[in-house]
Structure formats: C-alpha cells, structure tokens
Amino acid sequence: MVERVDALMRSYVEELGDSTALTLFDRLPHGKRLRAKLVLKIARESKEALKLASIIELIHAASLLHDDVIDDAMSRRGVDSINAIYGNKSAIMLGDILYSKAFFELTTLSDEIAKTISNAVTMLSIGELLDVELSKEFNPDPRLYMDMIYKKTAVLIEASAKSAALLSSKDSEAFALYGKNLGIAFQIVDDILDITSDTKTLGKPALNDFKEGKSTLPYIYLYEWLDSSGKSQLLNLYKKALNEDERRWLLEKMRESAAIERAIQKAKALGNEAINAVDDPSLKSIISDMIDREF
C-alpha cells in the first residue's frame, strides 16, 4: 500500500514535466510514511484515500525540506539532506514545488478536507517559526513547548487522521483527537530519545537538542526540579558543546529528578487518551509501538 503512495507521489512530480524537480525528488529519503499509513488504516484503501495519503506525504516532505534549510541540517534519516547535496536553493525550490502541487491536488478533494489540510499547513509553518523563537533562549514553560510541538509535529498528523475519517464517514473529531495526541506523544518520545538513546557514531546519547537551543520536555521538568544553583548550572550548559563532566552532571541530574520518566508518563497519558478516543485495535498498536521504544 505504501508503495502505491510512493508511486503516486512520484507521478505527481513527474506530471510537472521538469526533469530537475524529478531528479531532486528521487533523492529524498522515503521515511516511515507514518501519515500515509495512518490515512490508509483509517480510511481503508480507495482511490481517494491513496490520493489524500500522497498529498499529505508531499506536504510532509516539503516541510522537512524547508526544516532542514532552517535548521542547517546536513543529514536526514541517515542520508545526506537535499540542502547538503544540492544546496539550500534547491531544497527551498523543491519544497515549494511539492507544497504547491499538493495544494493543487487538494482542490480535487472535498472542501472540508481541503480546509482541514491547508489549515494544518498554516499552523505547521507557524510551528516552525515558534520552534526557532523558542530556541533563542532556554524556555522553562511546558505550555509553550507543548503548543510548539503541537503545531510543528502534531497538527499534520491530526489533520491526516481527521481527513481520513471524513473520507470514510467516521467520527472526525474523535480521530482528530487521536491524531493530535499521537503526534504530540511522538514528538515527546523523539525528544526523550535524544537524551536516552546511544547513537551509532558516539556510542552514547547525542544530547543534540539542548546544544541546538531546544529546551525539550525533560529539560523543562529537570529545570522545575532543580534548586537555584542547579538551575544556574543547567542554564550554563544551554547551547554548549558539553565536556565529559558536564555530560555526566546532566545525565545524573536527569536520573535523580526522574525528568525522563515524567516525560514518558506524559506521552503515555496522551497515548491512552488517544486510544480511548477511537475504538480500534490497530490504531492502539500504533500508539503502543511508538511509545514503547527503547528509552
């Protein structure tokens, strides 16, 4: 099924009749196609569901292209990013091409779906701006973090689930809630893995986010728990390349404070709320597979 989404996405780009655009598109990593799988699971296989899934994945690919330029990211899913290979210009242009083709195809779906998806893209771009804003200085406010990851990550997953439900006459609000919580929980888990998961190259956690100015949920919880001298020490490490002592201090305080566990609990609570919103075993397993990754 996901192969059919890949093929449809490619045919949309091919239709534009520009060989450079197609060459660039073919260099994009396919990713997990989480959003497409979700659409197809909720709406079942149909011509319209495949179309919706492909449109959403084009939008997601476009947003990643622009994200990578904005974040100066040189790789994406283990392969060199388009901006690293072909430069920022190509990444911006290909992103614009995929966005606009997706919007064009969206006009062939129902008004309500077109509105749902295009509204999500607007919030998605606001989310990118919020992410950059929040990375300027340490953010201790969990609400700002939650709002940002909702927009940056969850909003398109929410719109995917909602649109798929609309397509198949299911309860769109329930599925929207499912998608929203799945997306937020997914991002929380991703942010935790930056602290807990050993990288292949380092053999230890990357701790990249904090260096890049991203105060993710575990850091916010840790900050809440620390006393004032601990808070100062944490702020000292913000945006810094850490030496061994500093790494050790940080990971030790994460352990003592149970900040990671608290963040995992938050993700699980959101996941449970999502599972309860829709009565569907296969959607339940998406949530549990996503949350029960190895922390």
Interaction site with a copy of itself (CB under 8 A) = 16-18, 20-21, 63, 66, 69-70, 88-90, 92-94, 96-97, 99-101, 103-104, 106-107, 111, 114-115, 118-119, 121-122, 124-126, 128-130, 132-133
d(CA 2, CA 37): 7
Nearer Cβ to a copy of itself (125/233)? 125
Q: Are the C-beta atoms of residues 205 and 251 closer than 8 Å to each other?
A: yes
**How many CB atoms neighbour CB 14 within 10 A?**
13
Least CB distance to a copy of itself at residue 111 (A)? 6
Burial 199-224 (b: 16+ CB within 10 A, else e): eeeeeebebebbeebbbbbbbbbbbe
CB closer to a copy of itself out of 63 and 216: 63
Cα gap 23→158, rounded to integer Å: 31
136 vs 200, beta carbon nearer a copy of itself? 136
CB of 56 within 8 A of CB of 39? Answer: yes
Residue 123 DSSP SS3: helix
Least Cβ distance, residue 24 to a copy of itself (angstroms): 9
For residues 121 and 99, the answer to whether their CB atoms sit within 8 Å is yes
User: Least CB distance from residue 62 to a copy of itself, whole Å?
Assistant: 9
Closest approach of a copy of itself to the CB of residue 99, in Å = 6
Smallest distance from the beta carbon of 55 to a copy of itself, in angstroms? 12
Q: Which is nearer to a copy of itself, 63 or 187 (by Cβ)?
A: 63
CB closer to a copy of itself out of 96 and 279: 96
